[in-house]
Amino acid sequence: MTEQTPPNEAGTGPDLDTTGEDEVRSRQRRKLRDRMGDVGLIATMAFATIVAVGAVLAWAFFTGDNNKSSLTSGSSAPTTKTVDVSLGEFWVKPATLNVAKNTTLVLNVTNNGSQAHDLKIGTKQTPTLKPGEKFTLKTTAIQATVQGFCTLPGHRAAGMVMDINVQGASDGSGAGHGGQASGSGIGSKIDPSDATLDPSAKPAAGFKAADPTLKPVPGGTVHDVTFDVIDKEIEIAPGVKQMIWTFNGTVPGPVLHGHVGDVFNVKLVNKGTIGHSIDFHASQTSMDQDMRTIQPGESLMYSFKAEHSGIWMYHCGTAPVLHHIANGMYGAVVIDPADGLAPVNHEYVMVQSEFYFGPQGKEADLNKALLGFQDAVTFNGYFNQYVFDPLKVKVGDRIRIWVENVGPNEISAFHVVGTQFDTVFKEGAYILRPNNPEAGGAQVMGLMPAEGGFVEFTVPKKGMYALVTHKFNDASRGAVGHIIAE
């Protein structure tokens, strides 16, 4: 077997390099002209010429090398090669195949994973294979390096790829490295077809924000709920729609509300297209039973007794979990203390989460989630929604806001501009209570991913107050809302 040649990165290099060179040159020229006058300018231009000549020579070297590869790879006699291929979470074995040009591959593909997978090479593709299923995939005669991959959402980005490298007939040179993972640098990992946020765009006229009001606990102490997993195209920011994996058709999913000691019977029904599951942080149970992944068409009953008060995250826990959370599979369970909480004028729930846009109308871009490049950060699933449709209160109103930071990656530094919190309850304990002997106040409730709590405050006078995460790169991506006191 011939050795794999290194990836060919010269293809996109020269343009980028010369653009950078132009910028550097003109910047150097400007700077030096300012400092040194005309004599300096002449010297600088001479230097710039040397740099430019160097760049051209470097380009010639790379492109020359590139041409040599393509010129010397000739044609080969048709051959057939049979290979056993294994699929699992999230890999393909073998991950690399080196073949001669004009080879037809006969791949005996077995799904050895615990989820459904497939394998696509060029125009040929296996059916979706359940765990344990096999399929023999015959490719067309391979003419150029190609990347095979699993087409299920997120699986390619999670690592389910097989690089098929064509060896040149006469000298063994590779013809380059295909696929989305080629090249070095972070930019090469982001799909250029991903939707982008326009921070100046406005939603359609008549936009209505999701009502953040916490509904009262339903009657009784046993709460029977059905969560249908539904794939649904949802607008996340003005002009940006994503194919969200939802619980009951919304992102975040429904807020559940009960008291300590209440029982929740949640029937999870998978009406989606891939496997999903649910994990209630408000419960204590083994993950291999209640949190197991169910396939489309299946359902499971997840019952738990709420033992502790607080706001608790729930989310799909099917691998890759990052992708399932990034694509909208989360919500909050609010458990009041057994004896309730003091009355307030307004009680809201804010679920903070990030979105990593895939192409318009498609699922989240897992690569961006892995890199931590969030496109939008929202309260209750829509960019700046309480700026577009503010919360209305009266001067002097006392407000409680429950905040659950579902992440998946970012912290929340929850702050309400113009107020101080006199009450902060976070992760099972009061940090601050009214009339405390220290006369303390708080400005921020800091929440790591999955942490939750509530704050209470009063709006002192007429005007506008803003809820934000004080991590301002995230605030500028949509984690802002307005409260108007009248």
**Closer by beta carbon to Cu ion, 155 or else 324:** 324
Residue 370 dihedral angles phi and psi, to the nearest 5°: -65, -35
**What is the nearest approach in angstroms of Cu ion to the Cβ of residue 207?**
28
Nearer to Cu ion, 92 or 322 (CB): 322
Nearer to Cu ion, 362 or 415 (CB): 362
Compute the least distance from the CB of residue 171 to Cu ion, in Å. Answer: 48
| Beta carbon of residue 328, minimum distance to Cu ion (angstroms, whole number) | 9
Q: Which is nearer to Cu ion, 175 or 319 (CB)?
A: 319
The span from the CA of 210 to the CA of 353, in Å, is 15
Q: Which residue, 162 or 326, has its beta carbon nearer to Cu ion?
A: 326
The least distance separating Cu ion from the CB of residue 331, rounded to whole angstroms, comes to 13
SS3 label, residue 19: helix
Distance CA 210, CA 348 (A): 11
Minimal distance, residue 329 CB to Cu ion, in Å: 5
Which parts of this chain interact with Cu ion (CB under 5 A)? 276, 316, 318, 324, 329
Q: Which residues of 442-452 are buried (b: 16+ CB within 10 A; e: fewer)?
A: bebbbbebbbb
Order of strands across the sheet with 222-237?
Answer: 240-247, 222-237, 263-270, 299-305
By beta-carbon proximity to Cu ion, the closer residue of 166 and 251 is: 251
**Closer Cβ to Cu ion, 316 or 351, answer by number:** 316
Shortest Å distance, C-beta 406 to Cu ion: 13
Residue nearest to Cu ion (CB): 316
Partnered with residue 99 across adjacent β-strands are: 166
Whole-angstrom Cα distance, residue 323 to residue 159?
A: 13
Closer residue to Cu ion, CB minimum distance, 142 or 316? 316
Residue 137 or residue 316: which is nearer to Cu ion going by CB? 316
Task: Please report how close the Cβ of residue 252 comes to Cu ion at its closest, in angstroms.
Answer: 14
Q: How far is the CB of 373 from Cu ion (least distance, A)?
A: 21
CA distance 47 to 395: 67
CB 208 within 8 A of CB 388: no
**Cβ closest to Cu ion, residue 149 vs residue 330:** 330
Nearby residues of 286 by Cβ (< 8 Å), 6 or more positions away: none
> Minimum distance from CB of 148 to Cu ion (Å)?
25
Handedness of CA 27, 28, 34, 38 (dihedral sign): negative
Q: What count of residues does the chain have?
A: 486
The token pair that represents 231 in the structure block: 């794939």
Question: Whose CA is closest to 263, among 308, 301, 227, 306?
Answer: 306
Minimum distance of Cu ion from residue 324's CB (angstroms): 4
- CA nearest to 401, candidates 315, 467, 316: 467
Q: Which residues pair with 457 in a beta bridge?
A: 399
**Distance (Å, whole) CA 8 – CA 425:** 56
Q: Which amino acid is at 317?
A: G
C-alpha angle 414/417/420, rounded to 5°? 80
